[in-house]
Chain A
Amino acid sequence: MTHTGEAVWRHRGEVAAVDSGDRVAVLDLTSLAVPPRILEGPAAAIWRAVDGERATPEVVQAVAQSFGVEAAEIEADVLAFLASLSSAGLLEAS
């Protein structure tokens, strides 16, 4: 799995999500016994920044813009979170 460079991130097809504005609740439809995960704050912003078209640097940039910070300040955290969602089966990169 590529987490940097030109990898384009998308939500996995077998994921249901409810975005309430203040947060996002996400259910993995391949693991129905696992309760939904709640994403708030930066986590929700990263989830929303993943739109199936943005590569890793654009995702970082979109999140940085939404919080009014420099991309370099948050890059490591965003990359780590993308990797974490990928490991959880909620995102995929190609």
Chain B
Amino acid sequence: MVDTALRLRADEAVPLLHTLVARAAADLGLRVLAIKGPVAALQGLRKPRPSADLDVLVHPRDLESLVAGLVALGWRRGVEGTYASIMPPHSVNLLSDLWPVAMDVHHYFPGFLADAGAVFDVLWAGHELVTLAGVPVPACDPVGQVAVLALHHLRISPDGDSPALRELSSRAGATLSADEVRALVQLAHATDATATLRPFLLALGVPDAEIGPARDAIALDAWNRRVRAVGYEAWFLKFARTPKRRWPRTLWHALVLTDDEIHVYSNVPPGSGGLLRLRLRRIGRGLAGVPRTVRAMARERRRGSG
């Protein structure tokens, strides 16, 4: 009647895993916040839907302690540092053969330009307990959660015109009280995210004069360059930094990735039969995207030298 050979499903695993991380962190005396995923759905900020992974945020000084604690429980570091990314590393990816979902432990969240530890403290100060799998789990409150979700969407669509951001805007408008919108603006100031959140705050009806500029202009410039990077530019940059003799290996890796990486991107378990099909699809998409990326990068180079 109890079958440990039955596969745990993602819709079961994600809430259970949030309780596991919260408990592991509490045992270690660390603070950890559940972000995105089922918490956002419970808060009415996104449609309830199965998540392929889970995200938590930890104070940067506690990152290695928490990761070590989770590794001691059988988790292993995943794709960190093996693939090209335009964003600097902001999370540690963890995998387990016993769980069907990956875990991203964030030590900062891109778009908050203030010191990552200070940002965590601000988000923690407003945290709430949400019930997942029958257990109270510390999570960003709706105000912090909206900021995190908006920055996540703005990273992909910096001008704020994506369907996902429009949906968040509409849900936040319906969910947040006027006081909470004011708290969101205060949070944006405290975490230096006014400029990065600007399109979203404007969509929420916040007057431009209340939003203000970024305090850290250099960090804002870096954010703008990163979020406007095109398609496969990350891989081109990786090639530019790689000795030519290692290009064949890098190209092969770019096209096929490792089993763990494919798992993270697709939620297909390592070793399963679907990997070959996913790899072939990725090769097709990669080759199709090359001309567009080369054109866009040439445009950027001309703009930069002009």
Contact = CB atoms under 8 A, between A and B. Distances in A.
Interface of A: 15-18, 20, 23, 25, 27, 29, 32-33, 35-43, 46, 81, 84
Nearest to A14: B23
Nearest to A35: B98
A41 B291 CA distance: 55
7 A-B pairs with least C-beta separation: A43-B1, A16-B133, A25-B12, A16-B19, A35-B98, A38-B6, A18-B12
A25 B20 CA distance: 13
B134 interface: yes
Interface in B117-150: 132-135
A41 B16 CA distance: 21
A25 B23 contact: no
A50 to B, nearest CB: 13
B189 to A, nearest CB: 37
B4 A38 contact: yes
Nearest to B17: A27
Name the residue among A38, A40, A42, A81 with the largest chain B CB count within 10 angstroms.
Answer: A38
Contacts of B133: 16-18, 27
B134 A40 contact: no
B2 interface: yes
A20 B132 CA distance: 13
B24 interface: yes
Given A37-B2, A38-B6, A29 B23 contact: yes
11 contacts: A15-B134, A17-B133, A20-B11, A20-B12, A27-B19, A32-B20, A35-B98, A36-B16, A42-B1, A43-B1, A81-B1
A81 B1 CA distance: 8
B221 interface: no
B203 interface: no
B179 interface: no
A35 B2 contact: no
Contacts of B134: 15-17
Interface residues on B, range: 20 to 34
Contacts of B4: 35, 37-38
A18 B16 contact: yes
Interface in B1-44: 1-4, 6, 8-9, 11-13, 15-16, 19-20, 23-24
A84 B2 CA distance: 10
B218 interface: no
A25 B19 CA distance: 13
Name the residue among A20, A25, A39 with the largest chain B CB count within 10 angstroms.
Answer: A25
B3 A40 contact: yes
A59 B135 CA distance: 24
Contacts of B12: 18, 20, 25, 36
Contacts of B13: 25, 36
Nearest to B11: A20
Given A16-B133, A38-B3, A29 B73 contact: no
B74 interface: yes
Contact of A33 (B9, B15, B19, B73): B73
A33 B74 contact: yes
